[in-house]
Structure 1
């Protein structure tokens, strides 16, 4: 048994395409080649491998190499309340914190993450028990701006650096070190690193002492005395803190026209661009990422554009005060943006960016749409569809049916609605030009814990064998409870039959009906599937083809 604990904490480049086959245990090889060959079964094929990782790094491993996936889930709503009540003996304070979280959709959803509950409690307890004036945070950027202030203030008190001062004075006094931390956060976020060594700090002009005094933001996690780790290792207290500080650094770079930083990041001259153009360029840049590691960073950038956060962080962002008309142009750009190459999941980030800009018009229009009795007559824009998909999949109520043809929108709009498949019992995605990207979303719905989907119709989509292989990765999940699957006219060949047989043998207890009509199949191709219908060990009762 090999246990790879924290794959996302390594800096290994796992390349499963251009690889050297290593099957001899005596052959010397690099660590990343040993790992890829071990995971693929070329090396020690009878060995068991247990890997822990955040999702972004786990996606490096091909699904074909994964037999079982276990998702460690965060707090339920009840556990969130229990956490906040246990933190304080002051029942009124706990009630005010819980009440505020429930009124803010953005904050409430993030409270599934236990560390986030600590961050929000740290901020709200401080704001509600001191004389600090101002509106309680409503967005992620609001919250993290206040969190930075709280940690900076605590640092000053701990190290006897003087009395508490205004936010502007706090930020101005620690501006240089915070921007160095921001540079560290940004440069390693772009590389996909969440752990840093002393030399990484020094490259950004930080010494170990400066990192240590900011233990509320950046902390030492492994000691030099460790037998395995020969170096002291640092990380931010949570990935979201790294993403926020990275956004602060990048916003400061734009404000101060740091040509070198902007050019290195965006690959072209952006030093003189207007704020709204800069935001849209960075958003497009984030869409190029396969794992979405820049998505929250982009949300924070949009939130930092607001005057309220600029005033809160004082001179940390540079001398700027964004005009309302600039914010409105940024909002209009988000609402009009159409980007066919990104996945439906990733397009939801445009809706999140609107919320960070505190534009609730799309959210309110979606709410009105959901209450309307004449939904089919209402035209939905693409940004409406992204927001609706997000709201449907996050709803506590499971949708009975998702039929994309019933929505009055464009082809791109229907494509953006697909993430809602994760929270429905019946999904009709007929003739929607599904690609492998959308099939991957469907597969994730089948793998979800819990998975509500029982009836899935993918008919008249040119998904081919490669797309169905992704769907089969969902079918074989132990969480999958699908009963009916329609694949009529999907350009499938005998390879797809093999994929379906393999998936059903991994998870034989649910699928009852399978429709494969109007595909490139012969009777011989269906023999193994027909045998499953006859076998008492499988629930499959009906197999259609012609």
Structure 2
């Protein structure tokens, strides 16, 4: 493929890369966002401390300048992103490694006349550092970092090592920094105690790139970071991994939707899952999602002790589904939070009936900011006094 690029065998390139090979170069570099060359330059400089800031080029020349080498390599990179299996990732790394003169020398004259100018190589490196694609999995974006390593650019790796050694974690991290950090945390022999995305000074795209590190941490706080099904798939993979280290997971304040909820619950059903605490507050869940969650909680392999589904539109129908979990002999729940879930007297009656038939392990129940009605609360309060129940704490009303 590299040989075809150098020797301008466009038919082969078009066959591999598709018709997009003939598209305008700038569209692939997100320049379609700007029409003004000055704006293009400012975009690049704001995302990274690029080498062009020290070079004597005009802004117009920089905006219009295109390197066929970096254009070719990024198109191959984007081609690899289209594969969900990552089957082209190693191939992409290999191609970036071929940019180095030392590697080309090993191949003798097989490649032909190559473009080895420092300017071309630096352009490839700069593209890898600042290019961002929100549609790819954060796991796949780590391959961009690997390509930098193949080109012997160790700057990002060294910067992240310094970041990990430093007690001051307030430094701004770029997207490529976050990919590198996620890889290093994921591969570390030491299991991270907690991964809290909000504690990192980066963009929301950068926080999403950190998600693969959940595979090597005990507690993960992924709150309010615009999670999609792609990111839920990464979390589910962490829950299924052997061994799985995750015991506490907070994904509150994300719009998980059906696809994300289904992927997450597939991870919960895994026999390798060791999760004990799950928080899904304000994730726009409904009765439909309750069915999926209930299916996971009823499995014999479930270790879940704390579940927070507050501020979701569960209503009485969703609560009835959760009652099936409380009645299950496999249920290990000790804390259940259903604050602000539009629960009425009917739902509270179902909860009281479930706890009466099987006290399970439930010790704490939060029903604040609902509409339980007098009869529903009387049943729950009466049950709480029953020595047969294990319920120690019952929260209700609005002044909690």
CA distance in 1, matches of 2:328, 2:100: 63
Would the aligned equivalents of 1:433 and 1:462 in 2 still touch at CA under 8 Å? yes
- What residue is the counterpart of 1:340 in the other structure? 134
Would the aligned equivalents of 2:174 and 2:202 in 1 still touch at CA under 8 Å? yes
- What residue is the counterpart of 2:6 in the other structure? 255
- What residue is the counterpart of 2:68 in the other structure? 274
Superposed, which structure 2 residues align to 1:85-484 within 5 Å? 250-266=1-17, 267=19, 268-269=21-22, 274-320=68-114, 322-375=116-169, 377-484=170-277
Q: SS at 1:315's partner residue? A: coil
CA distance in 2, matches of 1:378, 1:445: 28
Would the aligned equivalents of 1:491 and 1:519 in 2 still touch at CA under 8 Å? yes
Q: Which runs of 4+ in 1 moved over 4 A?
A: 270-273
- What residue is the counterpart of 1:122 in the other structure? none
Would the aligned equivalents of 1:262 and 1:269 in 2 still touch at CA under 8 Å? no
CA distance in 1, matches of 2:93, 2:78: 13
- Measured on the aligned residues, the alpha-carbon RMSD in Å equals 1.7
- What residue is the counterpart of 2:303 in the other structure? 510
Would the aligned equivalents of 1:366 and 1:387 in 2 still touch at CA under 8 Å? yes
Would the aligned equivalents of 1:334 and 1:350 in 2 still touch at CA under 8 Å? yes
CA distance in 1, matches of 2:6, 2:302: 59
Shift of 1:325: 2.3
5+ residue gaps, structure 1, are: 1-249
TM-score for both structures, normalised by structure 2: 0.71
Output one character per residue of 1:198-224: Cα deviation in whole Å (capped at 9) or x when no partner: xxxxxxxxxxxxxxxxxxxxxxxxxxx
Output one character per residue of 1:78-113: Cα deviation in whole Å (capped at 9) or x when no partner: xxxxxxxxxxxxxxxxxxxxxxxxxxxxxxxxxxxx
CA distance in 2, matches of 1:507, 1:302: 48
Would the aligned equivalents of 1:344 and 1:386 in 2 still touch at CA under 8 Å? yes
Q: 2:323 aligns with which of 513, 530, 535?
A: 530
The alignment covers a number of residue pairs equal to 296
Output one character per residue of 1:209-265: Cα deviation in whole Å (capped at 9) or x when no partner: xxxxxxxxxxxxxxxxxxxxxxxxxxxxxxxxxxxxxxxxx0011111112101222
